[in-house]
Amino acid sequence: MNLVEVLRNAFTFIYKKAQLWAVGGGITVVALGLGYKFLLRPNKLNRVGVVSQLLIHPLKSGRAVSVALAECQPIGLKYGELRDRHWLVITEDGHMVTGRQEPRLVLVSLTSEGGQMCLNGPDMEQLRFPVLQPDNPIINCRVFSSDVQGRDCGDEVSSWFTSYLAAEKTFRLVHFEPHMKPRRPAETESLYPQREKIAYPDCGPIMLLSEASVKDLNSRLENDVTVARFRPNIVVSSCKAFDEDSWEDIQIGDVQMHCVMACGRCIFTTVDPETGVISRKQPLETLKNYRLCDEAEKHIYKTSPLFGQMYTISKTGILQVGDVVYKISH
């Protein structure tokens, strides 16, 4: 092989390598560009409302406790010793008792003070009992069709509820503790991820509702209702009626949440939170006139009207009244 051929082969080799490097570099640039576009570029936050109320319902079906700030945990809101829907009234055989069966439960308040829980109800003496009672038995309970545990709160508390509800049966109160077997919403609502855990809520840790949606409903009713009828955790102002239906992912402060499903409403909405009287008619009948789901979702919601949205927690943190609510655009 002469010198000319050697030089020609060397040039050809270098030229082909240069082409490969150029193609590879181009692919790398494209990959980096796509990575930035879909993975690294920050989400867009659009202001959609303001938190006007934060409500914790320590006792399932009991009165709400309004707080100025709350910890938002995967299992729900927490303020001091109070955790949302972590106390539950049950029958002696462990089945849940709610305002659907005993409407006067909505008049019972459960608060905390100095390591003690405080029970109050109409025409009843206040009863205090310890938050933690480790020597009391753990009871296996049923909430809807799911098994869950609870620590019995003692005979004195049982007597209080039995006397207050004045039924010909015995009631007991149980408390869900962090180490206990939780419920999995996916067991009853298929839209929830299998990893989600809750204590005694109907189906999820957070329910959000706007003031405007309640106002819209009242424009159709003969007698106004308040947001307390619907027992949300987060109430939002400064938005239009039913805007919350389109908030798939939201951020409030550092907290991020994902909307799993709408909140299907039942007979409990007909219990007046101020009197404890159940009408079995309004506002449920009116909601059914204009808030039913699409035909494609009938297998999920059936005939329940939709009012409010259910969220899971993507990122924990602190919520405060006055926080701006942002819709996250990916």
Query: Domain residue spans in the chain?
Result: 45-329
**Each residue of 31-40: pLDDT tens digit?**
445 555 555 5
* pLDDT over 50 at 90, yes or no: yes
Give the model's pLDDT for residue 23. Answer: 45
What pLDDT is attached to residue 42?
Answer: 76
Over residues 199-223, the pLDDT tens digits come to: 999 999 999 999 999 999 999 999 9
The dihedral sign for the CA sequence 150, 153, 158, 164: negative
pTM equals 0.87
Tell me, what's the pLDDT at 40? 58
**pLDDT on residue 64:** 98
The CA-based dihedral angle spanning residues 191, 269, 64, 311, taken in that order and rounded to the nearest 10 degrees: 20
Q: What was the pLDDT predicted at 168?
A: 87
CA diameter of the chain: 113
Predicted pLDDT of residue 167: 85
Question: CA 238, CA 229: separation in Å to the nearest integer?
Answer: 20
pLDDT range class, residue 111, cuts 50, 70, 90: very high
Would you say 68 and 54 are in contact if contact means Cβ atoms under 8 Å apart?
yes
Q: Could you report how far apart the first and last alpha carbons of the chain are, in Å?
A: 62
> Hey, what CATH topology would domain 45-329 get?
M1 Pyruvate Kinase; Domain 3 (2.40.33)
For the chain, how big is the Rg over CA atoms in Å?
A: 27
Q: What is the pLDDT of residues 236-253, one digit of tens each?
A: 999 999 999 999 999 999
> Which of 84, 88, 204, 73 is closest to 143 using CA atoms?
88
